[in-house]
Amino acid sequence: MFASPSYPAPTPGEIDAFVAEQFCGKLIATDAGGFPRVSLLPFVPGPESIEVHMVQADPTFEALRAAGRASFLVDEPLAFTPHDVVSPDYAGMATLHFRAVVFHVEAEISLAPQHVAEALERLLRRYEEGRRWLPVLDGPTYGRDLRRLAVARLRKVGVEAKFKVAQNRTPDQRERLLEFLRARGQGGDERAARVIQAAAAADPRGRRAPADR
């Protein structure tokens, strides 16, 4: 991602809080032919690593296993806003609002059914807190599935993050933007308005920049 000076770099705490809110990420690993392979995965975040489970026959898993390195993208597209919300004439003000974090990772992989079962239990505790299920154990109930899966611990070795949520707008421009989103009312507009407003509360001065990338 382009690290634009128009948008302040998120702090480690902001990155952790954002990642904890999201329910899936995209694992990107390059195969032997040089093509990126991508899989959308639920995950368990941690301070030093991210844990995922994968189907062993997944081409992304095969690429990850061979390369040992990958990127893990956690992103949230929020909204597109047209230029004339900010400027009646300058089309460069049209933009996409989003938050995104890319972790560069090194993978530790296990195919052991016990390790896969333990990882699935951690995943269930994250996604289904308060619900009940048969314990995930290597046996007649889960054994066949456990042998089709693998667990990957993705150790973080680098991070890129960009939260593009109208920080480069003046307070007046940002208020017009919020009014537009609330009036348009498309699928993600309410969420986008909340995120933009929270960013404005953290830095109410606003900024203007000639570039909007």
Region 188-204: mean pLDDT is 90
Examine residue 4 and state whether it is found in any structural domain, yes or no: no
For residues 113 and 82, is the Cβ–Cβ distance under 8 A? no
Q: What is the 3-state secondary structure (H, E, C) of 31-53?
A: CCCCCEEEEEECCEECCCEEEEE
Examine residue 63 and state whether it is found in any structural domain, yes or no: yes
158: domain CATH number?
2.30.110.10
* Residue 185 φ/ψ region, left for φ over 0, alpha for ψ in the -120 to 50 degree band, beta for the rest: left
Cα 127 from Cα 18, distance rounded (Å): 16
Examine residue 114 and state whether it is found in any structural domain, yes or no: yes
For residue 156, what are the domain limits? 12-128+139-169
Number of domains in the chain: 1
Examine residue 213 and state whether it is found in any structural domain, yes or no: no
Cα 46 from Cα 43, distance rounded (Å): 10
Examine residue 179 and state whether it is found in any structural domain, yes or no: no
Model pLDDT, residue 207? 55
Q: Confidence class of residue 204 from pLDDT cuts 50, 70 and 90? A: low
pLDDT digits (tens, 9 = 90+) for 62-118: 999 999 999 999 999 999 999 999 999 999 999 999 999 999 999 999 999 999 999
Res 29 pLDDT > 50: yes
Examine residue 206 and state whether it is found in any structural domain, yes or no: no
